[in-house]
Amino acid sequence: MEKKVQEHVLPDLKDVKGKVVMRLAPSPSGPLHLGHTRMAFLNDEYVRRYGGKLILRIEDTNPANIEPAAYDMIPGDLEMLGVKVHEIVIQSSRLAIYYREAESLIKGGHMYACTCKREDAKRLKLEMKACPHREQPLETNLDIFNSMRDGKLEPGSASLVVRTSLDDPNPSLRDWIAFRIPAARHPIAGDDFHLFPTMNFSVAVDDHFLGLTHVIRGRDQLNNTYRQRFIFDYNGWKVPFYFHYGMISYPGSLLKTSLMKKGIREGKFSGWDDVRLLTVRALLRRGYRKETFRKYWIDSGLRDVDATFSWEIFNSINKGFIDSDARRLFFVKDPHQITISEAPDIESSIPFHPSRPELGARRYSVKAGSSVYITTEDWLSISDGETVRLKDLCNVTRVDGRLTYSKAQDLSRKGRIIHWAPEKSIGFTVVKPDGTIDSGLLEPEGMDVEGEVQMERYGYVNSFPREGTGYFTHR
């Protein structure tokens, strides 16, 4: 039987002539998180489709917002996700280019140096009025620019402003700031640099000189695209094709890098890979496959509508990738020890995977009079007189508060089937995404199965048995 499956396919990009050049432009404030993976996979997909190159451009022009470790974490995250980056560009190493372009724009009369107080400049702009420096001589602008660059001016005392139009109905497009002198020193560029572009300036310059053909990014960037267009127009540059996709909201999730960083510093989280966080590394540790991210984002498409991230769908996709390889094991949470009265010696053989007999089975000998463990929850739920099956072991009946080897070991009878763990099981804990921990016992043969497993009747777990622990993936 052939099944008709409708595969989601991303729409074609407009204006593709030959190969494309696209980019990922994160700021190095921390490692990548779930929100970043969308832009990573969408760009990666298009570069794979059309051929060309994907540039990772680390946008570090705000010295106050830099986590030095991120310069290594970000490429590492992308590699773990299987996103193919062809070139890495770090903006703080391109300051000379930005200065050169700034000088050129000043000389062309498109940019001026402003020494207004921040509040004054803001007020004037809202009133659609020019500040006193807007019409000052070109020489003055160049002098101030040189002083700014050479570190002769105090942080915040001057800025370079792109001249647009003061009566633009959109206030954010009126004469926007292109360069400023931040107070913080830049951890990578060092102490010799004092003047830094704002992202709108560096992005426009880089998008041009790096030869970007297509830029797809979130709708939150729309106003920035309008601003950046001024730089293209003043220079007579060809504008790349821009597309802004809708924003995804992540219900109840902590996705702000700064807050994660704060939590880590305060000891609330163990690190960037704390399973409570939605960083790429945390999600991989929990057992999500890189393929899941790719499929999810392709399925979500490239639409300009806002949407809500669906864990339901994400988990379901992941299950599809992991299930056939996930060996089945028994994890008995909150164990309750039982002895089955009147039981003979029993040899138990339990397949590692119900649909893949070639993976073999775990085998245990349960001697007469020895004990096994079941979950306390199961124990409490068995009513007197009820018969349940210990999976691949035997039927037991509860008589007078004890579990007794059933008279009927009929395998066809319908009844509840519960899981168990032999006497020599090992202590095991499962860390759940909310930070809580389930403790219990893992069957002995689980010791040799590392990675993604399915704890029967419990859920999928990324298991590290040598450490006696695992991370809950999803049900």
Partner RNA sequence: GCUCCGAUGGUGUAGUCCGGCCAAGCAUACCGGCCUUUCAAGCCGGCGACCCGGGUCCAAAUCCCGGUCGGAGCACCA
Q: Is 171 in the site for RNA (CB under 7 A)?
A: yes
DSSP 280: H
What is the Cα gyration radius of the chain?
Answer: 31
Q: Is 380 in the site for RNA (CB under 7 A)?
A: no
Question: x/- contact string, 277-306, with RNA (CB under 7 A)?
Answer: ----------------------xxxxxxxx
Of the candidate spans 40-48, 143-151, 321-329, 424-432, the one that interacts with RNA by CB under 7 A turns out to be 321-329
Site for RNA in 54-93 (CB under 7 A): 59, 61-62, 64-65
Question: x/- contact string, 441-460, with RNA (CB under 7 A)?
Answer: -------------x-xx---
Neighbours of 200 (CB within 10 A): 22
As measured in angstroms, the least distance from the Cβ of 244 to RNA is: 8
Q: Is 17 in the site for RNA (CB under 7 A)?
A: no
Site for RNA in 222-241 (CB under 7 A): 222-224
The tokens describing 455, both together, are: 């704890």
Phi-psi region for residue 439, left (φ > 0), alpha (ψ -120 to 50) or beta?
Answer: beta
To 5 degrees, how large is the angle CA 399–CA 368–CA 384?
10
Question: x/- contact string, 122-161, with RNA (CB under 7 A)?
Answer: x-xxx-----------------------------x--x--
Can you tell me the distance from the alpha carbon of 229 to that of 209, in angstroms, rounded to the nearest whole number? 14
Of the candidate spans 76-84, 165-173, 234-242, 428-436, the one that interacts with RNA by CB under 7 A turns out to be 165-173
As measured in angstroms, the least distance from the Cβ of 54 to RNA is: 17
DSSP 264: H
Q: Is 313 in the site for RNA (CB under 7 A)?
A: yes
Q: Is 418 in the site for RNA (CB under 7 A)?
A: yes
Can you tell me the distance from the alpha carbon of 40 to that of 239, in angstroms, rounded to the nearest whole number? 22
To 5 degrees, how large is the angle CA 176–CA 170–CA 26?
55
Of the candidate spans 245-253, 262-270, 277-285, 286-294, the one that interacts with RNA by CB under 7 A turns out to be 245-253
Instruction: Tally DSSP H helices, then E strands, for the chain.
Output: 12, 27
Q: Is 436 in the site for RNA (CB under 7 A)?
A: no
Q: Which of 117, 112, 158 is nearest to 133 (CA)?
A: 112
Q: Is 43 in the site for RNA (CB under 7 A)?
A: no
Q: Is 411 in the site for RNA (CB under 7 A)?
A: yes
Give me the count of residues in the chain: 475
